[in-house]
Amino acid sequence: MEEYAREPCPWRIVDDCGGAFTMGAIGGGIFQAIKGFRNSPVGVNHRLRGSLTAVKTRAPQLGGSFAVWGGLFSMIDCSMVRMRGKEDPWNSITSGALTGAILAARNGPVAMVGSAAMGGILLALIEGAGILLTRFASTQFPNGPQFSDDPSQLQPSPFGDYRQYQ
């Protein structure tokens, strides 16, 4: 992968928010188009118009709720990276659970717990898929770039503690 000169973190929030909105709008658009088509009165004209209306009313709504989820998730994720000083899968699982809890906060504590569990499980699944994908991608190239069997030459000699400058 290319190396980024700058930190991904604060910018990632905007990224995720927009990505989630796009995803929700496109997915919701397809779904609502089919559903509106089917739910309209008989006749192609009616059906097309009904499908268009459904898409216009519902798809931005779904995109918006996706965007709220993505943005809040990313914000919590970034704060956790900042606080823990470490990036690992725990961050995203915890922030998924916290996002679920916060967004269900107005429905009472029971709903919060359920929603938090759902969020955590969902993000755990996504992380698992990510791990699997990386593993699969790395097995495509069995022994990676010049994998040498002996410890690399930057390694100090086993005896003595001479510091090596390069």
φ, ψ at 153 (rounded to 5°) = -75, -15
Q: Which is nearer to other proteins, 37 or 101 (CB)?
A: 37
Cα 130 from chain centroid? 10
Own/partner pairs, 57-60, CB within 8 angstroms, 24+ separation: 57/32, 58/28, 58/32, 59/24, 59/25, 59/28, 59/29, 59/32, 60/25
CA angle in degrees (0–180, nearest 5) for 46-34-41:
25
Task: Tell me the per-residue interface mask from 95 to 114 with other proteins, x by CB under 8 A, - otherwise.
Answer: --------------------
- Of 55, 58, 75, 119, the one binding other proteins by CB under 8 A: 58
- Of 26, 30, 39, 43, the one binding other proteins by CB under 8 A: 39
State the residues that interact with other proteins by CB under 8 A: 1-4, 8-9, 11-12, 15-16, 19, 31-32, 35, 38-39, 58, 81, 85-92, 124-125, 127-132, 134, 138, 144, 147, 149, 151-152, 154-156, 158, 161, 163-166
